[in-house]
A and B are shown apart, each in its own frame.
Chain A
Amino acid sequence: MKSIKILFITIITSIVLTGCWDSVEINKREYIFAVGIDKNAKNLTFTSEIPKINEGSEEQRLVYTKDCINFADFYATSYLHSEKVISDRLMQVIVLGEDLARDSEAVKRIFDEIQRSPQMNRRVKICIAKGKAQDIINTEIPHNPIVGRFLSEMLIKLKRESYQDIYTFDEAILDLGKTGNAMIPVVEINDKSLKVERAGVFKEYELIGFLEPEEVSSIMVLLNPSKATIRNVNITVEDTNVSLGAVDITMTKKMDLSNDKLKVDYYVTLYSYIDSFIIGSNKLEDQSYLNKIKEEATKNILMVSKKTLDKLQNSYRADLLKIKEDLYKYHKQDYEKIADKYDEIFEAADINIHLDMVIKSTGLVK
């Protein structure tokens, strides 16, 4: 009986231990931090960045470039080309090349593979390269040589400040799924570094154009007024340069959909501080001068907003303002009637921004 028990325990232990048969020690792994994907004549080009964490030299990295069909093929090829095992568990950023982003089929395949993977984290950051993703990954940044870490930290910082709406793969795929449109950050080479200022406009998984920083800012005010960070408003009033900083934004919106005519009104109140004026002038004590500043600033902001709306409605026909989502959520009956022809309805929609500017303070001096 005793020997049967021992035999039984041995068999069970050997079965349980099978869980360890594919274990790989940490020093036998290579952790991808960033991957750039470009389109080539036949397939895709994957450029991966692997910091030399295991060797204790955190500021050094390896960059591999391989032509592959998809992620799975990339891992399989990498497995055969290195003595170590490639791991994507710590992947920070995926950079899509501009050519690739303009090919909706390729984007759909890549997004599907990321979404399907049990290992890849859906919260991996995502951005579009202006030009080739390979160039972005290969950029030598003197003060922060690991591009994956640099981009990840930068995108987290921008997300915290709500400069843009989407920073992760998860957010991108949810937005594209819900509305068919998304605004994804664009990374560009900036001398010996990288910058993230502009946004790429995606429609049905295809990059259709770019938005300038002030246009992104206008959209963010309408999308997420409580968190949106907008740049300073620089104006000239009576030959004096004035700079206004927005401190708080409140907004209400009103939607009306009747007879295939969509009307959306945004009522925005922007609370601002005077950031810069000129020493020796007491004009800021004069209410009429302050009113002139408000008028000029309002004109300035509305001009950019109108230009942005025009671009969204007529050039891109992309509803980045998520009006479609709001209609579905809060006016479902009306929305269902126009769901099939929403793009045309959006293009012809009457979208108005009513801006009320409030100067809360002139700073520490009058």
Chain B
Amino acid sequence: MFNQDITPYQNLSILILVSFAFQSILMPLLLSEIDGPVGWMTIIIAAVVLYFSLKPINKLLLKYKEDSFLSISNKIFPRLISRAIGIYYIIMFLIANSILMKDFAEQIKLMMLFRTPLGSIIIVILLTASYATKKGIKTIANISSITVLIAFIPYIFIMIFSTYYADYSNVFPIYPADVEGVLKSVPGAILGFFGFTILLFSNSKVTVQENNRSINKKFILFSTILYVACYLMIIVKFGIKESVHLVWPFISVMKYVNIPGFFFESTEIVGLCFQIIVTFSCICIIAYFTNIAMQETFKTREDGFFIYMQIPILYFMAAVLPGMYMMFPYIQWPIIILSGLNLLIPLIAALVDAKFKKVKNN
């Protein structure tokens, strides 16, 4: 129905934006699980794991250029397994999107619309996001690339300005590092690179597929830099002891924005507005790829109408689920499972495909 092609750089902006949203949601986990300000080590380990995992996955995706990961799994796995994989991705996307939406709605309520019911905020976000999602990948890709320019970059600048009264010695002590804590929080950090899962679906939509390999690597690189920079920014501002208590470290950092000569009374609200655009784009992106996952699992010709199925599910889940910060004590295992599956499913698929090819050649 709509033009389904996106440029490599639109793909890159989609991947970076989605990862950034989840990195900020999962940041408190990284701050609280490690004794000392060495969470950046966890991020680097997670990035290295993902970087090396990308090689076989890139190969697989390039081999089946026109297919998304679910179409590929339909080809290489038995029907039951491929259906299970499809259903896993649908459920995972729905959970991820509802958590993102809930957190986002709570931030808006707490900072801007104090008396507006949370349900009203969620339904407004949902209806607006579903309109953009229905328009297809082209619209979403345009929203993402514009978001990077008009919101994401200024948002990062605002964050930088908020470190005006920072204590840079807070990055110490580095040695001795809490090795156990660092390793224990790697699954959470891997889940923070949510773009890694999205690229399994988005790469097939890119016009120049040959660039995907380098774009995927660039995504890991940029996302790592952003993740580490944001982590360090929170650390230098608050120190590790105070950071552990924060529900939304990013929002708290914005409360200190100090731009010389800036004329707005509440700069944190300006920062929050940028974040609203960033998070809204991410909700659209995930909702779209949930549509794609549904289309390929249930083998339909159209994907757009699945958004109508998503709206009540997402609304119900976002309304019922507690905020992410309330779930932290209970989500250690779910995070390990989700991040393990997100990493292992494509890797196993790549392995199976390589074996399949070998057998065929023999």
Contacts and interface: CB of A to CB of B under 8 A. Distances in A.
A8 to B, nearest CB: 9
- Residue from the set B120, B173, B266 with the largest chain A CB neighbour count within 10 Å: B173
B358 interface: no
Contacts of A171: 165
B111 interface: yes
A57 interface: no
A122 B256 CA distance: 8
Contacts of A16: 124
Chain B contact residues: helix, strand, loop or mixed: loop
A332 B175 contact: yes
Contacts of A118: 110-111
B64 interface: no
B176 interface: yes
A109 interface: no
A329 B255 CA distance: 26
Chain A contact residues: helix, strand, loop or mixed: helix
Interface string A315-356: 000000000000011101100000000000000000000000
B266 A122 contact: no
Contact of B116 (A21, A89, A90, A330): A21
Interface residues of B, number: 29
Contacts of B111: 118
Interface string A5-24: 00000001001101101100
Nearest to A120: B255
A177 B239 contact: yes
A330 B172 contact: yes
A141 B117 CA distance: 45
Contacts of A177: 239, 241-242
Contact of B124 (A15, A121, A122, A123): A15
B123 A329 contact: no
A253 interface: no
- Residue from the set A12, A19, A90, A171 with the largest chain B CB neighbour count within 10 Å: A19
B113 interface: yes
A90 B266 CA distance: 9
Nearest to A330: B172
Contacts of B255: 121-123
A304 interface: no
B306 interface: no
Interface in A88-107: 89-90
Interface string A70-104: 00000000000000000001100000000000000
Contacts of A248: none
B205 to A, nearest CB: 29
Contacts of B242: 173-174, 177-178
Contact of A329 (B116, B172, B176, B265): B172
A15 B265 CA distance: 28
B176 A332 contact: yes
Contacts of A15: 120, 123-124
B155 interface: no
B301 interface: no
A170 interface: yes
Nearest to B114: A22
Interface in B198-255: 238-239, 241-242, 252, 255
A178 B239 contact: yes
Given A89-B266, A118-B110, A123-B256, A12 B172 contact: no
Given A22-B115, A328-B173, A12 B127 contact: yes
Interface string B23-47: 0000000000000100000000000
A174 B239 contact: yes
A266 B255 CA distance: 36
B169 interface: yes
Interface in B173-192: 173, 175-176
Contact of A330 (B124, B127, B173): B173
Interface in A1-51: 12, 15-16, 18-19, 21-22
Nearest to B258: A123
Contacts of B120: 15, 18
B116 A178 contact: no
Interface in B58-93: none
Given A178-B241, A332-B173, 20 more contacts: A12-B127, A21-B115, A22-B113, A22-B114, A22-B115, A22-B116, A118-B110, A123-B165, A123-B255, A174-B238, A174-B239, A174-B242, A177-B241, A177-B242, A178-B239, A178-B242, A328-B173, A329-B170, A330-B172, A330-B173
Closest 8 pairs between A and B when the two form their complex, measured CB to CB: A329-B172, A22-B115, A332-B173, A118-B110, A19-B113, A177-B242, A18-B116, A329-B173
25 contacts: A12-B124, A12-B127, A15-B120, A15-B124, A18-B116, A21-B115, A21-B116, A22-B114, A22-B115, A22-B116, A89-B266, A90-B265, A122-B252, A122-B255, A122-B256, A170-B256, A171-B165, A174-B238, A177-B239, A178-B241, A178-B242, A329-B172, A332-B36, A332-B173, A332-B176
